[in-house]
Amino acid sequence: MTTPRTLRDDITECDGTDLLPPGHRVRGWTITDLIGAGGWSTVYAARPADRQPDRTGRAPAHPSAAPADIALKIMPTAGYAPRQTRRIVESARREVELGRRAGHARLIRLVDSFVLEAPDRPALDGAIVLVMERAAGSLRELLDAGVAEADRPRLIAGICEGLAHLHRSGWVHADLKPENVLLDRDRSVKLSDFGLATQMTGTHGYAPPMGTLDYLPPERWRAPLGELGVKVRPSADIWALGIIIHEVFGSGASPFSGATPMARGAAVQEYGEGRAPLRMDQAVPPFWRALAADCLAPTHAARARHTAESLLARITAEQGTGGRGAGRLWGRARAAILTTALCGIAGTTLWSDAARASSSALDGPGGAVTGTIKVFNAEKGCQERADRDPQCSLGLAIDPMRQYTADNVVPSRVWHGDVLAVDCQLPDGRAVIDEADLQSTRWFHVRLPPGSTPPTAWLPAVRTKDRPALQGCPAPATGR
């Protein structure tokens, strides 16, 4: 989607766009720059209209909760045939619905949406406008510039986190590619562009017969077009992930040769039909080559068992046994697996007063309750929310000596600010690293409200700012 500034003058009204100049106001936003243009949309950088930049060029603090700088995705509907207009409206609807239902730290955030009234610009009058969180760049730009070796595992893990959440929430991206993997200034991953995303009914959903040829799995090339579109499954995203893994570790090259996307697509079909082997660049390290090969299994059935969550678990395990610095990725990704897993668990809500009420009702390994502890979420966006959104919930472990993953989580959830009864602490459990890179091996044994199963759980110290004076807990006998 990104358009180099030197090409800005080449985009004209005949391309289906009517460019807005810097300073132009769109409802409550002021255009600051062009980010890029695609087939059905143009994306601009913008800021709140009542924010004026200071001498440094930066806008002062804004009292609203909206980000200081956002991206406006403008999707014109004028001048298209009725069928094209319906596709544009449906694409926007998908993005809005997914943004409202499946928000996550690894998905670009939808701030607002509205229909633009622009009688002075007929080409834009009636356009659909999506107000989104603004990223610093894309994975495609990073690939073109060269990805630092140390960044590669973290980038792939971030994509897996986003996909794991999408799939667990019942969505398929259906157009995963480096252009749609956005990066913050710290190069953390944000999946974007959900115009082709589809919500599944059971094991699959239906999407328009569109997509980016270089990232379509073999089955999509021969998929029948039905009344609802073509059938898509999460395994299509896993295929695209395999291509991206090869590009990230193979200097941007696709594992399928060909001078054009159609030629590479022909190579994909030959491979899918068993008439050609999978040939990967030897520059791709063995672990990542094996991971990409599993993602690029030739059929949906062979690919289906390699879920985004299982791939992420393999990455975290590999990084956890690596050299210095690997623990940071391991901890972050492990926390992401846990958060993703919790999104699909219908558990007990831990209200602060319920925790206090249970503070003297149960016995744990440390004996009597000696105090309370307040939960802390390092994600700033979750700290500001009071609606107890499932995406901001945090996990409590069953066993602090085991890996902090989805199978080691109690059904109950906690949120930032919850107060839990605590009876003892374990200083040398499994190390956990949170989103702010804080690491600790300390765990707190906490009590859950009456009726909870199990009645107690373990909170990692990185999930609280409190450090109460507590006696030590004996290590759980189930630890391994």
Looking at residue 324, its pLDDT comes to 36
Give percent of the chain above pLDDT 70: 79
Q: Which domains does the chain have, with CATH numbers?
A: 5-133 (3.30.200.20), 137-331 (1.10.510.10), 345-463 (no CATH)
Helices (H), 44-107: 82-101
The b/e string for 129-150 (b: 16+ C-beta within 10 A; e otherwise) is: bbbbbbbeebbbebbeeebeee
pTM tops 0.85: no
Helices 326-343 and 152-168, axial angle in degrees (round to 10): 10
CA atoms within 13 A on the CB side of 150: 7
Q: Which of 91-105, 356-370, 454-468 has the largest mean confidence?
A: 454-468
446, 421 Cβ separation under 8 angstroms: yes
Least confident among 11-20, 40-49, 109-118, 384-393: 11-20
CA-to-CA separations, 461 to 205, 320, 378, 431, 465, in angstroms, rounded: 41, 19, 12, 10, 8
269 pLDDT tier (thresholds 50, 70, 90): very high
**193 closest CA partner among 398, 365, 40:** 40
Across the chain, mean pLDDT equals 79
Indicate the residue type of 452.
S
Looking at residue 54, its pLDDT comes to 42
Q: Average pLDDT of 414-423?
A: 90
d(CA 207, CA 71) in angstroms, rounded, equals 25
pLDDT tens by residue, 82-127: 777 887 888 888 788 887 777 788 998 888 888 888 888 888 888 8
469 pLDDT tier (thresholds 50, 70, 90): confident
d(CA 447, CA 355) in angstroms, rounded, equals 7
Indicate the residue type of 401.
M
